[in-house]
Amino acid sequence: MPSRRSALSLLAGAGAALAVGAPAAHARPAPHGPFGRYGSPARRLDALTLYVDPHGRGDHTDVQSAVDAATGTGHTLVLAPGTYRGRVTVGAARTGLTLIGASGDPRDTVVVHDTAAGTPKPDGSGTYGTSGSASVTVQAAGFTARDVTFANDWLRSDNPEYTGTQAVAIKVQGDRSAFYRCRFLGHQDTLYADSLALTAFARQYYRDCYMEGDVDFVFGRATAAYDRCHFRTLTRTDLTSAPYGFVFAPSTAGANPRGYLVLRSRITSTAPDAYYKLARPWVPSSDLTAHPMLTVRDSHLGAGIDAVAPYGTMSAGFPWQEQRFAEFRNTGPGARVTVPDNRPQLTASEARAHTLAAHLGDWRPYA
């Protein structure tokens, strides 16, 4: 069986294996060098643009050193095609930071690390935990990423002794965080769409993105909108029966009127039919007043989703039926309503309150 490093992901919508350790096989040099139309250190677009290239043709060879150099606000980091292995943290002071994959194809530019929640820390002080496992952590407001892959290639099969198998590709906490044509690759807890505090209602927007995983692979308490995205559930070799996992696990704060909104998207699977649930609520021990919210509308749910019982309960005291889960006008075999009590549906009137404009307020990253 190939390791994740040799065959990490399926191409979004294509079904072909892709190596994470190198640019995509189709990748070709940009006509104007490794940074394409975005200039170069010799042809810098402006003083706030920095260039990153693992082969030394930019200002920096790794992403974290470029982030550290981008002091102040409004910097742009242009990433040449390549694999950037190592942790990246965008602290709260780096407001308005933008990451751009120079080729325009997210398969060519990969930011990746390989830590799980159960990975021991080198100093012997314990394990990293879920948040500490993140390949990339974004705390700054106004963060934008375009055409970049964020991945965590830690594998359960390589570490069967671990009980903490969460392995986050990216943890996003800042308000007004936007991702366009990005990929998020992992298994458990791939995309952690969260906020900096219980009282911080961080707004996030994901457009034309691809997310894959198995257990709760899109989770957290952010006010997040997923627009025209592709979610793909993976086969598991460590389990012999359903369910393999859950796509969404929101943990929306009880005071937050907006949680996760999924629209004009699709869910596909490499697993057998009905082996995945659509969602389960996460009420963490740090916030027992959480009231998870998820609306999935105008989307195509493939056969991998269990249409009879698409929702599950994570903690016995917080059943999914008491949360803010709803659907509207979905299609596909996974959206078939066979047991009405298991598929809460919005009316047309109610659906008018579940739009991008209502969800994101005065911030319009979709305009």
Buried b (16+ CB within 10 A) or exposed e, 316-350: eebebeebbbbbbebebebbeeeeeeebbebeeee
Place of tokens 């627009």: 227
Q: Are 60 and 50 in contact (CB under 8 A)?
A: yes
d(CA 320, CA 27): 44
Tokens of 15: 């079904």
d(CA 344, CA 321): 9
d(CA 303, CA 98): 37
Whether 123 is a known active-site residue: answer: no
The active-site residue, picked from 189, 194, 214, 306, is 189
Whether 108 is a known active-site residue: answer: no
The active-site residue, picked from 53, 175, 216, 306, is 216
Q: Which residues contact 255 (CB under 8 A, 6 or more apart)?
A: 198, 199
Give the active site residues.
189, 216
